[in-house]
Structure 1
């Protein structure tokens, strides 16, 4: 970076957190890793951790450099019940954003949210 770009307080448009791109990253990984998988209570903690890391790495590699990323992964057993979740953050509405996606199969559900907070 050149000296004039060092102290930017807003990201350039091409480097902004783009929810549609991040959602596609989430969707791709969830389909790849969870399709055909059966719910196993013993495997859920490690699966959540590994999915979170994988999603974070993929999002970072998509060109979102100056963002602090927080990835939340929730996996539960699919029994036909309804689940309601809410997410809440305080941030800079001009620079920060989030994306989320849900994966369902006959055995499990998985909800992922990725929060991107611009690092000044």
Structure 2
């Protein structure tokens, strides 16, 4: 009885090996895969469109802030609405492989000066930014859009 079990196992192993050999035959050759394409630079005409983005920023700020007076309780909501609207409209430009980052700041005009700085580490050949400023008698809005190319 022990010999029969061993014999059956050997038969299973042998038939499994024969089937796998017939499945892989040297006659069946697959076409070689094309080498992968890695885009490390945007193509001609696909770079960040700074002037179009500036137009979008300015029109969005004017739509949202025209005729409004500064209100401390509403300014954060306005800034968020402007940033989201600008981001959506810039993404509609369909700049492939660009990460779009938008920052909008609204400050009350009281005669004080404002200084701010920004520092970014990026590739100056592919990455860019666009910014615009909107002012009226009571408020000051500065919006900046960064376009960072994803390698």
How far the C-alpha of 1:66 sits from its partner, in A, is 1.4
Q: Please give the TM-score of this superposition, normalised by the length of structure 1.
A: 0.90
Q: Please give the TM-score of this superposition, normalised by the length of structure 2.
A: 0.72
| Cα deviation digits, residues 69-108 of structure 1 (max 9, x gap) | 1111110101232222222111011110001000000110
CA distance in 2 between counterparts of 1:95 and 1:109 reads 30
Change (3 A) 1:4 1:66: farther
Match of 2:90 among 33, 37, 59: 59
Higher relative contact order (CA 8 A, sep 6+): 1
CA distance in 2 between counterparts of 1:106 and 1:12 reads 44
Higher normalized strand content (fraction of residues): 1
* Deviation larger for 101-110 or 10-19: 10-19
Cα RMSD for the two superposed structures: 1.8
Match of 1:50 among 81, 86, 106: 81
Maintained 8 Å contact 2:105/2:143: yes
Moved over 4 A (4+): 3-6
CA distance in 2 between counterparts of 1:4 and 1:17 reads 28
**Unmatched runs of 5 consecutive residues or more in structure 1:** none
Quote the residue 1:78 is aligned against.
109
Size of the aligned set, in residue pairs, is 118
**Unmatched runs of 5 consecutive residues or more in structure 2:** 1-33
Change (3 A) 1:5 1:53: farther
